[in-house]
């Protein structure tokens, strides 16, 4: 088994969006980019939307900027002209782990 170099490790943050109406994927991507641009103070925070369906999604970031990425997600108050609240559900080292632990089986919650 090969372990990735420390520089290349990623974290996957599962989140849930609560809003007054449906939130579009394109609007969410644009908002993430804009928020990351405003947020960066020397160190790059590059959140990357991996998936977003039915108000739940996964964002990828580097392992060194995990806390900043969580703060960035929680600081977003509007997407596409709609008022939103983003709740982070958890963090994992793999997309598969994030899906299994935080997104599957949470349909009615």
Residue 41 confidence (pLDDT): 63
Which CATH code, of 3.10.180.10, 3.30.43.10, 3.30.70.3250, 3.30.565.10, is assigned to 10-103?
3.30.70.3250
Stretches where the chain sits below pLDDT 50 are 108-109
Residue 2 confidence (pLDDT): 63
Residue 64 confidence (pLDDT): 86
pLDDT digits (tens, 9 = 90+) for 89-109: 999 999 999 999 999 865 544
Q: What one-character-per-residue DSSP string does the chain give? A: -PPPPGGG-EEEEEEEEEESS---HHHHHHHHHHHHHHH-SSS----EEEEEETTEEEEEEEGGGHHHHHHHHHH--EETTEEEEEEEEEEESSHHHHIIIIITT-TT-
Task: Indicate the domain borders of the chain.
Answer: 10-103
Euclidean distance between CA atoms 33 and 46, whole angstroms: 8
For residue 79, give every residue at least 6 positions away whose Cβ sits within 8 Å of its Cβ, in sequence order, or none.
Answer: 17, 19, 23, 24, 27, 28, 31
Phi, psi of 37 (to 5 degrees): -65, -45
């Amino acid at each position: 088994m090969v372990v990735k170099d420390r520089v290349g490790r990623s974290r996957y943050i599962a989140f849930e969006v609560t809003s007054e109406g449906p939130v579009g994927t394109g609007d969410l991507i644009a908002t993430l980019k804009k928020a990351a641009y405003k947020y960066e103070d020397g160190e790059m925070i590059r959140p990357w939307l991996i998936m977003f369906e039915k108000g739940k999604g996964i964002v990828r970031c580097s392992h060194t900027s995990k806390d900043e990425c969580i703060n960035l997600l929680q600081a977003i108050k509007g997407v596409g002209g709609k008022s939103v609240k983003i709740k982070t559900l958890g963090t994992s080292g793999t997309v598969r782990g994030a899906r299994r632990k935080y997104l599957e089986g949470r349909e009615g919650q």
